Each structure stands twice: as C-alpha cells, then as structure tokens.
Structure 1
Amino acid sequence: MHFRPAFIVVAASCLIATPASADETEDHIKTIRAQYAAIEAVGTKGEEIKFEAEGDPLSGTLTRFRKDGQMVKAVLSYTSGDHGGSDERFYYRDGKLFFIHVTDSSWKFGGKPASNGQPGTIDEVTEHRIYLHDGKVIRNLTKTASAESGEDLAKALAKAENKAPVDRERETAVLSHASALPGLKDAAAILKMME
C-alpha cells in the first residue's frame, strides 16, 4: 500500500506535541507563582525525618508539609561533606508536582585572608527553578553567583541572570527526588534514593 506524501505529513504531525504558545506558558507560570505564594503563606508545621549515612559524609532532613491530608510541600536539605549542601523544595497541588526550587551552595579556600589571618573563602550558590504543568517541565532556569562574603553573595545572586541550564543532569536528579519523596517512610529509604 502506498501513502501519499500529504497523508504522511498529516499523520506525523499528529504524533508531535504542539508546544504551548508563549502566552499560555506565561499564564501557567503566573498560576504556579500564585500557588507557590499560597503554600508559603500557610506556614504549616511539617513532619521531619533526619538521615545520616554511615561511613559517608551525607546527612540531612526531609520535611513534608501537609494541608487537608495532602502533601503540599517537601524540603530535602542535605550536606555531602563539609564544603557544600543543597536545599531542594518541592511544591504539590492535588498530589501533582508543579514547582521545584533548588539552592546548591559550596565554598572553597581563596580570596583575601580574613582580618584574623585565617585563609579567605569564596562562597558559590546556584539556584534552579523548575516550573511544571501537567507533569511536564515548561521552564527551567538556573543562576549562579560567587563572592567572598555572604552579603556580597546575596547581592551577586540578585543581579545574576537567569539562564537555561547547560547541563540537564541536576534537573534529572531533582525530578527523580520529586517522584520518590511522597512515598519515603524512613531515613533508610531517603539514603537509598540519594545513592
């Protein structure tokens, strides 16, 4: 059986998802920001699970916040060694993930020595913002800054430009965490997820 080229083009176009228009994406982003603000304003008390790997410098907490019995927010905070850590914040509505905000921070020796003669340090922070609609990433923004003091770091981060991430590895890891978090029961399960 032979198909005409026009039929093949129409059939193939039905298999390719049509990207949302810029206006639709912006409308979704506005809705996500409003939902985020509503969750942050509630200030509910969370259930906390602490974890620490034996023989490995990984430790932290998972805190889940619920409203009307449903998880609306989860915060995974951890350090791996003594030179950095991460805070991963996940936001849910009706059981569906809609926003992720991650802050990865680290420090290293460098810069000017402190006034007491101790070596100076350089702090670095990278923020990731992942917006989701119907289970799909619609926007992923990353910004990075570094400075020799916390005050300067905050200013540098505020001025840093949001960019699309070059490396999708962090996004993949964070999305994996997001799918696992609701079902984690104890520290052992958290550590297994972190492997």
Structure 2
Amino acid sequence: MKKLVLLPVVIILFSCENKKNESTDGKISTDSLQTVSNKGSLDKNDSPKTVDEIKAEYAVLNNQLIAKKLDSTSFDYECEEVSGNVVYYKQNGELKSIKHFHADSHFSSVENYYLKNGKLYFIFKDDTLWSFDGGTTEKPETKDEIEQQRIYIVNDKAIECLEKKFTIKSSAKNNPNTENIQNVPSENCSYSELQKTFEVLLKNKDQKGKINCIL
C-alpha cells in the first residue's frame, strides 16, 4: 500500500527533474532585457561601457545562441546530491558565453555568463525553488518560486543589478506573464559569489564528458 502512495510523488519528482533539464536550453535566455536596443553589436575590439551598450551586445549574441550559430562544448558533473551541466559557446574560437545549470531535488539554477574580448560584461541568473502546494496524493499540485538576476558589468565592476521575483502555480488558471513583471534594483549590487563560480568554470573549459564535483 505504501508503494502505491509513494508512486505519484516519485512521478512528480521525475517530471520536475526532466523539466529542469529541458530548461537548460530554454534559458539561454529567450527572456529579453525588456529595453534591448535594436542596434547592432559594437566594433569587434570595443567592449560595452554602458548599460545600453551591454543590452545591445547581449541582444546580438543571444539571437546567435537561440539560432544555434555558435560552436559549443559541454560536460556534466556530480557533486553529492547536486547534478550540473556546463556549456561553453564560441565564435571563431573566441569564448562568448558560458551556461551553467545545476539542480537538486527541489531547486534548480541556470547561470548565463556573457563575454567579449575575454571580459565578462553581463550575467543572467534564473533560480527556481519548487514545492508541493496542495492537491491530492494521486494528483499533487506544485508551486515554483522564481528569482531572476541581471547584472551589468564594466571593467570588472557591477554598474547595475536588477532582480525579478514571481510565483507559478500548477493549479492556477492565470499565472503571471513574466514579460510584464518589472525588474527592480537589487539592494546589494554585487556578483562576488558568481565571480568565483565563473572563474572555476573558466578553469574547467577543456573538460568533457562526466566529471566529479567542481564547486
């Protein structure tokens, strides 16, 4: 009898884990910066120096990522209860972006790092914490609490940090349209922890296949 009760829970966990894995492609990110400039990329040797220039540079690169026009290599890793995947995107041999996905049973995160001339200029981070939210044993309902961060970087310093928080419920008929939710300035505009992760990812850029914990 206990096995029958646990079966729906196992199904939900498996379904959510699959959803997390699928999201690693969807969160490159198709989510826009809302006020992205339609102008083209800066000159090859110029690095973006303002928020508007960062948005323009990001828009061009993100369109290339979505269209799968960049070369890529990747590896997976296992770290106790956390599983991760890292993808490196290059254009003509130059590293342009790193996508880092990691998850445990109830939490997943996708970090996207964007570079030009070897310098980091933008980070988009998307975290999801899910939990059961009512329903029945046979048909449980879930709730996703999502937090997004956008960090604009010039000369290794964050010049603007924005965040967006919202909740998605499986039982809701009208979940929020995320494009309509405004970004707000972060209370602490810093990316020191993400910088540490970024440096570890750079050191492991030649890894392939499946490896042990890197973080």
Correspondent of 1:101 among 118, 124, 130: 124
Identity across matched positions, percent: 22
Per mean C-alpha deviation after superposition, the further-off stretch among 44-53 and 97-106 is: 44-53
**TM-score scaled by length of structure 2:** 0.66
Match of 1:48 in 2: 74
Aligned: 1:76 with 2:100: yes
Would the aligned equivalents of 2:160 and 2:189 in 1 still touch at CA under 8 Å? Answer: no
Would the aligned equivalents of 2:148 and 2:163 in 1 still touch at CA under 8 Å? Answer: yes
Distance 1:134 1:168 in 2: 15
Match of 1:64 in 2: 88
Match of 2:200 in 1: 180
More helix by share: 1
Per mean C-alpha deviation after superposition, the further-off stretch among 176-185 and 87-96 is: 176-185
Deviation of the 1:78 alpha carbon: 1.0
Aligned: 1:142 with 2:127: no
Greater Rg by CA: 1
Per-residue CA distance 1:144-184 (angstroms, 9 max, x = gap):
101213985552x3333322334668x33212212332221
Deviation of the 1:109 alpha carbon: 1.2
Q: Which runs of 5+ in 1 are unaligned?
A: 1-26
Deviation of the 1:117 alpha carbon: 4.5
Match of 1:164 in 2: 185
Q: Using a 3 Å threshold, how does the CA distance of structure 1 residues 65 and 152 change in structure 2: closer, same or farther?
A: farther
Q: 2:118 is aligned with what amino acid?
A: G
Match of 2:59 in 1: 37
Per-residue CA distance 1:2-32 (angstroms, 9 max, x = gap):
xxxxxxxxxxxxxxxxxxxxxxxxx711111
Deviation of the 1:118 alpha carbon: 2.0
Q: CA RMSD in A?
A: 2.6
Would the aligned equivalents of 1:59 and 1:78 in 2 still touch at CA under 8 Å? Answer: yes
Deviation of the 1:119 alpha carbon: 2.3
Q: Using a 3 Å threshold, how does the CA distance of structure 1 residues 177 and 153 change in structure 2: closer, same or farther?
A: farther
Distance 1:108 1:167 in 2: 27
Aligned: 1:88 with 2:121: no
Distance 1:82 1:76 in 2: 17
Q: Which runs of 5+ in 2 are unaligned?
A: 1-48
SS at match of 1:100: strand
Distance 2:158 2:147 in 1: 19
Distance 1:118 1:143 in 2: 30
Aligned residues: 160
**TM-score scaled by length of structure 1:** 0.72
Q: 1:178 is aligned with what amino acid?
A: F
